[in-house]
Amino acid sequence: MLGDDAPWRRGDLLGATGLAGVGLAGLALTWFGASGRADWPDQLPWASVGAAATTVALLGLVTWLVAGLRRVRRLRREVLPLVAAAASLSRNAGAAGAAAGSVLVSAPGMTRFHRPACPLAAGKPVQPVPTPEAGGAGLVPCKVCAA
């Protein structure tokens, strides 16, 4: 169900669906317990059960999100030094950088401008962007290629 590249593991899925399932079961129990009781004082204990069940279900969803965010953060820490090293190699290779001069590039949807040889710009539909315009368009320099 979860691919190898998914940021979650089977344990994350089981924990999140378990908590969400317990929460939904609690809400169903609340529904059946409170239905047929016309007076608020009779419904109040069931409303408390419903609030607790909602909290448990939300806890399941939050644990799911936090597990994914932690794994993405860990992968980013592992990958970014490799990307920076690749950018350094391509800068040191020199040919592309010298030919490109001071031209910087960016693509629609990007928030940063890059050197043409930057691995983060590779394979994307980049267009040359003069530096003053890049700054004026709200683009910021890439931290990987130090554009």
Enumerate binding residues for Zn ion (CB under 5 A).
114, 118, 120, 142, 144-145
Instruction: Quote the tokens at residue 23.
Output: 């929460």
Q: What's the closest the beta carbon of residue 60 comes to Zn ion, in angstroms?
A: 38
Question: How many CA within 13 A on the CB side of residue 118?
Answer: 22
Looking at beta carbons only, is 60 or 114 nearer to Zn ion?
114
Q: Least distance in Å: CB of 142 to Zn ion?
A: 3
CA distance 112 to 93: 23
Q: Residue 133 Cβ, how far from Zn ion at the closest point, in Å?
A: 17
Q: In terms of Cα–Cα distance, which of 125, 120, 117 is closest to 140?
A: 120
Nearer to Zn ion, 53 or 114 (CB): 114
Let me know: does 98 contact 106? Beta carbons within 8 Å.
Answer: no
- Nearest residue (CB) to Zn ion, 134 versus 144: 144
Separation of alpha carbons 19 and 29, rounded Å: 15
Is 65 or 99 the residue whose CB approaches Zn ion more closely? 99
d(CA 67, CA 19): 14
Which residue sits closest to Zn ion, CB atoms considered? 142
- Nearest approach in angstroms of CB 131 to Zn ion is 14
